[in-house]
Chains A and B, each alone.
Chain A
Amino acid sequence: MSTAISIEKLSVYFGEHHDLFQAVKNASLSVEQGASFGLVGESGSGKSTILKAITGLAPQWDGHMAIEGADLTHKRDRAFYKTVQMVFQDPYASLHPRHSVDQVLTETLHLHGFDDINNRINKLLLDVGLGPAFRFRYPHQLSGGQRQRVAIARALAPEPDILLLDEPTSALDVSVQAEILNLLSDLRSEHGLTYLMVSHDLAVVAHMCERVAVMQNGEIVEIIDVADMRAGKTTQDYTATLLHASANRVA
């Protein structure tokens, strides 16, 4: 199996000069094609920043990143965005309030040079379980779960191989979260997608992923198989603390 995402000694910085802040410190990880990899840690631990660095939303980085064997430079081309797409945390903020579902998907498909846009939109909507009736709705006419489905449809539009998922369900109710997580599992097996998923919820990551990187203060503390994590076979104190905190919420 080939490697979909490989990251070596990645450091990401924000700010400049004396305000320079290193959000990610020497992080290395690799994700196999078709695998699902999780990033967990508390807020500010740099987990979302790694996703941002991959998509080019955090321009100040050094180290080495490669997608499907091709090295990434500081500029991303269109072919990159045909391979890698991202789903954001808050479906209420990530869709343009004055663009209908049709406009959102048309724009993406148009940018990627597809011509049978009409058929593709219908197929995408069916794929994410919405159906053509939703095509001309605006975001405010959709529920949170439906919006996240549109955001997923948009990410799937360029037929990517890799999806970066930044807390895709943390803004949703548990019942809706179950629907979206099931949808993501189905899409992954249908399209053979690779997932890199960020979440602060260990149960969600354990459900979705096979391997997990635990982050603290910008560093990857440990990379561990989910099966080992379930069995409590961790070598790091911090992972154990995190496991304990998520099992016993009231100390």
Chain B
Amino acid sequence: MSTLLDVDNLWVKFPTRNGIFDAVRGVSFSLGRERLGIVGESGSGKSLTGRAILRLIRNPGIVEAGHISLHGENLLDKSEKDMRAIRGEKISMVMQDPKFSLNPVMTVGDQIIEAYRLHAKASKSEAYKKSVEMLEAVAIRDPKRVMKAYPHEMSGGMGQRIMIAMMLIPNPEILIADEPTSALDVSVQGQVLSIMDKLVKDRGMGLLFISHDLNLVSQFCDRVLIMYSGRIVEVCDADKLHEAQHPYTKGLLGSLPKFDEPSDRLQVLTRDPAWRDAPSVEGRA
């Protein structure tokens, strides 16, 4: 499998009044044309890892890494102008909540057209046609009406599909999806995921799927990195997640209520300080 993205020894640091806080501590992994999941609790550094790849960590945050290379080119050496060309065109990102990631005062159509025309030299009418096609691809009925609508007129599930359409229209090679379905209902989640899955497969893209939902990741991804306090504690194949070895992964799995195996009490995760200090596991395939 060819490697699209390779991240080596990534650190994200934030200076605080009490010294420097290391949010991500020496993470290395690679992403090919596959679906790679990153799971962990809030504060484990999974979202920051995704953002660091796109260099979206703002001051005073500090990103340090051996390299973050896309096709062998180190993204850390790029100027901000070059990065802007990479964001969207090469790597794009779907955020958690459509309510906060769509522009509330622009119509859906204008936003998608803007996303397309930033990266492709296309006339307005061409871009319009392309946008309608893209909305159809994410299973939006009546795309022409949706093009004219504002984000607040859309439901959560539609909003998220619009986000996906917008992120995929420049035809990126890598999609980073940061909790793309946690704001959605279970029934809509499945729908949004299968659309994303289909598009990613058809286009041969690499997908970095960030989520706190273990079950979801085990069903949706090929490979999973489990993060704990800024480090990768375990890497495993998604279908073998339930045979995971690390006590943290086991603890997380055990603390889920199980629909078909009722029990009086749920297992509570006891944290071992040694997990924090153990070196990061390498997440290369």
Contact = CB atoms under 8 A, between A and B. Distances in A.
B187 interface: yes
Contacts of B263: 207
A58 interface: no
B257 A249 contact: no
Interface stretch (B7-15, B90-98, B120-128, B210-218): B210-218
Interface stretch (B71-79, B110-118, B161-169, B264-272): B264-272
Interface string A183-212: 001000000000000001111101110000
Contacts of A246: 186, 259
A174 B187 CA distance: 20
B279 interface: no
Interface in B237-253: 251-252
A182 B268 contact: yes
Interface string B167-179: 0000000000000
Contacts of A241: 187
Contact of A185 (B42, B265, B269): B265
A42 B186 contact: yes
A178 B267 contact: yes
A99 interface: no
B101 interface: no
Contacts, number: 93
Contacts of B156: 43
A71 B260 CA distance: 38
> Could you say which interface size class chain B belongs to?
35 or more
Contact of B256 (A144, A174, A202, A242): A174
Contacts of B190: 245, 248-251
A249 B186 contact: yes
B241 to A, nearest CB: 14
A98 to B, nearest CB: 21
Contacts of A207: 257-258, 262-263, 266
B43 to A, nearest CB: 9
A174 B260 contact: no
A107 interface: no
A179 interface: yes
A185 B264 CA distance: 8
Contacts of B212: 173-174
Task: Specify which of A200, A202, A207, A249 lies most central, judged by the most chain B CB atoms within 10 Å of its CB.
Answer: A249
Interface of A: 42-43, 144, 173-179, 181-182, 185, 200-204, 206-208, 226, 230, 241-242, 245-251
Given A174-B256, A182-B265, 14 more contacts: A42-B188, A173-B42, A175-B251, A175-B269, A177-B255, A181-B266, A202-B259, A206-B259, A207-B262, A230-B259, A245-B189, A248-B190, A249-B186, A249-B189
Interface of B: 41-42, 156, 185-191, 193-194, 197, 212, 214-216, 219-220, 251-252, 255-260, 262-269
